[in-house]
Amino acid sequence: MPHSRRLLAACVVASAVIVAGGCGVIADTHNRHGVRSVYQGDYNAGMNSFQRALAKEPTNSDAYYNMAATLHQLGKQTKNSQYLSQAQDLYRRSLSLDNRHVDSYRGLAVLLAETQQSEEAFRLLRGWTEVDPANPEAHTELARLHQEFGNLNSAVDELQYALKVDYQNSRALAALGQLREKQGDTAQALANYRRAYNVTPRPELAAKIASLERPGAFPGALPGTTSNGSVIATGPLTTRPY
């Protein structure tokens, strides 16, 4: 779907063709308006637009995702557990309609981890790798979760699998570079960062490469980045390390 249809994770989008037919196009328009409203801080208007999208197209997985992402962010901001519970249900509804919805997997996994449901988060992402084994994003997300819980070897295994599927996946390469750096293998980390940069020349990768080539020049960890989705870069997924 076009990037403006979805919330969280703004930056790079893997677009699909807009649904043909009147209802799909109208739902897409409502999603776009909702995303714009959320960008502007008008969450109520955003939610209303997403609900209008569902009124036109009840099986629109992006609209459910957008509602989930909005409530996820609001729940974190206001410490409202009811919003977070509703967000979880909406992420799952999106996935029930599209079991390959990348952003819904990401958002739900983050929410589960944030609400002390780590076992369920692992179960979710392992299930994703089974549903869509040829998708490097599934393995990269599972690697991220392993890393957050200190399972570095398992994280490396998942990233290596992701790169078997897509040897030029910039996000997996950057993530593997970060893990190698944590393990003290600076030479391999630098090689991974360079490969990632050659595929997608992002500024944060250039800074990381420079910091390893000239230690002390660019202190700090590789900033969080995103790879697929659409709005609210300050939302829940900003906890991702790559």
What is the per-residue pLDDT across 81-101, written as a single tens digit (0 to 9) for each? 999 999 999 999 999 999 999
Q: Computed from CA positions of residues 227, 162, 102, 90, in that sequence, does the dihedral angle turn out positive or negative?
A: negative
Q: Say which CATH architecture domain 3-239 belongs to.
A: Alpha Horseshoe (1.25)
| Average pLDDT of the chain, as a whole number | 83
Going from the C-alpha of 179 to that of each of 9, 203, 212, the distances in angstroms are 22, 19, 14
**pLDDT at residue 6 in the model:** 61
In eight-state DSSP terms, residue 220 is S
Residue with tokens 């980045």: 225
Residue with tokens 């008008």: 42
Instruction: Choose among 232, 229, 234: nearest CA to 62.
Output: 229
Whether the per-residue pLDDT at 209 is higher than 70: the answer is: yes
Question: Which of 67-71, 102-106, 126-130, 212-216 is predicted with the least confidence, judged by mean pLDDT?
Answer: 212-216
Whether the per-residue pLDDT at 241 is higher than 60: the answer is: no
Q: What pTM was computed for the model?
A: 0.78
Per DSSP (E only), the strands in 121-238 are none
Query: What's the CA angle centered on 10, arms 62 and 91, to 5 degrees?
Result: 35
pLDDT in tens, 131-159: 999 999 999 999 999 999 999 999 999 99
Token couple for 139:
């393995």
Enumerate residues 6+ apart whose C-beta is below 8 A from 144.
Answer: 155, 175, 240, 241, 242
Parse the chain into domains and list their residue ranges: 3-239
Residue with tokens 């699909």: 16
Token couple for 220:
């700090």
Give the C-alpha separation, 241 to 73, whole Å: 18
Whether the per-residue pLDDT at 106 is higher than 90: the answer is: yes
**pLDDT at residue 215 in the model:** 66
| Residues 43 and 74: beta-carbon distance below 8 Å | yes
Token couple for 108:
């739900």
